[in-house]
Amino acid sequence: MLLTSLAFGLLPLLVKGTNVVLSNDDGWAEINIREFYYALTNAGDSVVLSAPAENESGTGSSDAPATPLTEPCEYNSCPTGSPAEGNNASMPRFNYVNSYPVTSIRYGIQTLSPKYFGGAPDIAVSGFNVGANLGTTVLISGTVGAATEASKEGIPGIAFSGTTGSQTAWDAPVQTYQTVYAGLSTNVTQTLVASGKPYLPSNIWLNVNFPAVRGSTCSSPKDFKFVLSRINTANGSTPPDVETCGSTRLPTETSVVDTAGCYASISVGVATTKADASAANQAVVLGKLKSILSCLA
């Protein structure tokens, strides 16, 4: 699948040679992760996919050794009795791990990355998830669990989630929302990489959520605007956020995605707690992504 010219038009100058580990919690054979893989590789990145053999949505940061398959992988993408880890014979960079998202992305970082890249990856991305991961949902999201695990491993991690869609096999016809979300996810990834190393501060990850793709609006990557946000609602004792758009309080990611228009949220979190990061760390991300960030209407 080739990205549309509109999707490419959103991307910064291509950053060649970026090594990316890609995971999710919906499973290695779900179409979203495959479309994201193609979007990244078409944009010039070197990518290896390492995701659960089955749908592991809602498993958070669960972790367990991978085990041989006692039933087929999702969508019959591997047979009963397959080994604990395996790949697609015709696409060896498509790898499954019969365990959780955390286990899968760690396998990608520690085992597959040295094999394909000769060392650690530059960045790790997770998703794009079937369904949004907003607010306290981050605590149970396997997509988030994978991204935060990468950060704990010392690799910058980003979790991507989209409001539109349902569980779909890799060989189904590609739908508009998949192309749109893949283009937007690639845009954020490459913009961050283009900002230079270190891509993110230590123990920091990004949570990115896309609103619905619908009708004649929000149906192309060019329709969307990114807004810096926070994961949780602030209370009276919450320290100020980074100052931007004339305020020291960022909107919640839920309010961003729910605002009329085509607004996608980018929140800055602490990997070990999955809570909002400090204003200082938010400021780092603001500086790195300023070329694609907008204010909420």
| pTM for the whole structure | 0.94
Q: Is the four-CA dihedral 82, 83, 87, 89 of positive or negative sign?
A: negative
Task: Let me know if 135 is exposed, middle or buried by CB neighbors in 10 A (0-12, 13-18, 19+).
Answer: middle
Phi, psi of 239 (to 5 degrees): -60, 155
pLDDT one-digit tens code per residue, 120-175: 999 999 999 999 999 999 999 999 999 999 999 999 999 999 999 999 999 999 99
Quote the pLDDT of residue 2. 31
11 or 30, greater pLDDT: 30
Is 68 in contact with 97 (CB distance < 8 Å)? no
Quote the pLDDT of residue 222. 94
pLDDT one-digit tens code per residue, 41-93: 999 999 999 999 999 999 999 999 999 999 999 999 999 999 999 999 999 99
Please tell me what DSSP assigns to residue 111.
Answer: I
- Can you count the helices (H) and strands (E) in the chain? 8, 9
Residue 115 has pLDDT above 90, yes or no: yes
Q: What one-letter code names the amino acid at 193? A: V
> Mean per-residue pLDDT for 206-227?
93
Task: Let me know if 60 is exposed, middle or buried by CB neighbors in 10 A (0-12, 13-18, 19+).
Answer: buried
> Mean per-residue pLDDT for 226-243?
97
Residue 13 has pLDDT above 60, yes or no: no
For the chain, domains (ranges, CATH) are 5-210 (3.40.1210.10)
